[in-house]
Amino acid sequence: MVVWTCELLEGGGMDDVKKINTAWVIAVNKLSERKVQSYVLEPVASSQMESFRYIDIY
């Protein structure tokens, strides 16, 4: 399991993050028999609402 901490680029939103993450999972899973799972963790109440995390499970 890998946890990534990321920040949104200016003008980007969580819908963009989820769309890119879905495309990444599909592309990676085409390369190997071992499947990757990835989850986007969104801030609900935080002083840094532009931050988010990915949890990738290999």
DSSP 8-state symbol, 24: H
* 17 contacts 52 by C-beta, under 8 angstroms: yes
- Ramachandran angles phi, psi of 36, nearest 5°: -100, 140
Checking if the pLDDT of 44 tops 80, the result is: no
Dump pLDDT digits (tens) for 9-25.
889 888 999 999 999 99
Domain that holds residue 13: 2-57
Alpha-carbon distance of 50 to 43, in angstroms, equals 8
Asked if residue 58 lies in contact with residue 15, where contact means CB atoms within 8 angstroms, the answer is no
Please tell me the total count of domains within the chain.
1
**Could you give the CA distance from residue 40 to residue 17 in angstroms, rounded to a whole number?**
8
Which token pair is 14?
A: 């969580």
